[in-house]
Structure 1
Amino acid sequence: MLLSPKYQFLFVHIAKTGGTSVRAALERLRWRDPWYYPMFLCSRLSHLSGHRIASKLPRHAKVVAAKELLPREYFKGLFKFAFVRNPWDLQVSSFHHIRRERPHYLGGHETFEAFLRWKLDPDRPYQYHVDTSITLQTDYLIDLSGELVVDYIGRYERLQPDFAEICARIGIQAPALPHARQAKDRQKDYRSYYTDATAALVADHFARDIAMLGYGFDPTD
């Protein structure tokens, strides 16, 4: 999550949706923000206290955290946005990320199908939060009443034009998006990873995301 008091925006960073590139581009604005240094100091104090003083919004915090912590009128005045991604594509990206950077999280399931079935198995004993992509993306966008409270939802599939639209609404010239953390170990078409059965598993687990965000197994133009 990235908050800018000067430019009055709140970026809700959902993992594996292009958010690292968006964050890297927007973080440059911090140097122009007179609130940057007080915020940095509070962040360090939060770290030193074990984050017990609630002065820092975590990188992948849900929007409800900001709504509950910030003054009501201040929160309402922020331009709140996030990026989302096709759930089937997201699961493929997450698998490759874990296999590349945290292979011990695979739980001994080395193929995409085996890992997906294990991860989404409702009877799997809870050992740890396998990865953030098991959480519904819409959970990051709603408040405690289930109401959508972000002002703009960009799409990973339209990252560049949607980011340009966001920058226009913030009132800045769109900086170049760096190609941060690009995966080089996966096939391009996520559909090639799925059988009918595993595609149905994702459709069932992420049904609310698919309905609210308008995604389908096949990409749309």
Structure 2
Amino acid sequence: MLLSPKYRFLFVHIAKTGGTSVRAALEGLRWRDPWYWSMFLCSRLSHLSGHRIATKLPRHAKAIAAQEMLPKEVFDGLFKFAFVRNPWDLQVSSFHHIRRERPQYLGGHTEFEPFLRWKLDPERPYQYHVDTSIELQSDYLIDLHGAVIVDFIGRYERLHEDFALACERIGIPALALPHARKATDRSKDYRGYYTDATAELVARHFAADIALLGYRFEPD
């Protein structure tokens, strides 16, 4: 999550949706924000306290966390945005990320299909500890009543175009997106990783995302 009081925006960072590139592009704005150093100091104090004083919103905090922690007039005055990704594609990206950078979290499953079945098994304990992509993307965008509380939902599939729209809404020139964490270990389209059964497994687990965001296994 990235908050800018000066430019009055809140970026809700959902993992594996291009958010690292978005954060990198927006990072330069922080140096121009007169609130930056006080926010930096509070962040350091939060770190030293073990984050017990609640002055830092986590990198992948949900929008509702900011809604609860910020004064209503401040939260309502922010341009709040996030990026989302096709759930089937996101799971393939997550698998390669874990296999490349955190292989100890594979649970002994080095191929996509057995890993996915193990990861989404409701009987498996400590599910969150695999990675955040097991969570619903829609949960990052809604309040306790299920209402969407962000102003703009961009798509990973049109990241550059939608980020330019977000910059326009913020009121800044369109910023270039760096290719942060660009994947190099995927050799085929995400659909090639799935059988009918595993595609349906993702459809069931992420049904709320599919309903809210309109994604399909076969894109239009």
TM-score, structure 1 normalization: 0.98
Corresponding residue number in structure 2 for 1:170: 170
How many residues matched?
220
Matched, 1:16 2:55: no
CA shift in 2, pair 1:127/1:3, >3 Å: closer
Corresponding residue number in structure 2 for 1:68: 68
SS of match in other structure, 2:52:
coil
Matched, 1:135 2:135: yes
Corresponding residue number in structure 2 for 1:3: 3
Return 142-151 or 108-117, whichever deviates more: 142-151
In structure 2, what is the Cα distance between the partners aligned to 1:38 and 1:19?
24
Cα shift at 1:145: 1.8
In structure 1, what is the Cα distance between the partners aligned to 2:148 and 2:135?
16
1:75-116 per-position Cα deviation (integer Å, ceiling 9, x unaligned): 011000000000000000000000000000000011000000
Cα shift at 1:188: 3.7
Cα shift at 1:219: 1.9
Corresponding residue number in structure 1 for 2:58: 58
Identity of aligned residues (%): 81
Cα shift at 1:125: 2.9
SS of match in other structure, 2:3:
strand
**What residue ranges of structure 1 are gaps of 5+ in the alignment?**
none
**What residue ranges of structure 2 are gaps of 5+ in the alignment?**
none
In structure 2, what is the Cα distance between the partners aligned to 1:126 and 1:33?
39
Which amino acid is the alignment partner of residue 107 of structure 1?
A: G
In structure 1, what is the Cα distance between the partners aligned to 2:14 and 2:125?
25
Q: CA RMSD in A?
A: 0.9
Residues 1-221 of structure 1: pairs in structure 2 closer than 5 A = 1-126=1-126, 129-220=129-220
Cα shift at 1:187: 2.2
SS of match in other structure, 2:82:
strand
TM-score, structure 2 normalization: 0.98
In structure 2, what is the Cα distance between the partners aligned to 1:200 and 1:41?
47
Contact residue 84 and residue 156 of structure 2 kept, 8 A: yes
SS of match in other structure, 1:154:
strand
SS of match in other structure, 2:31:
helix
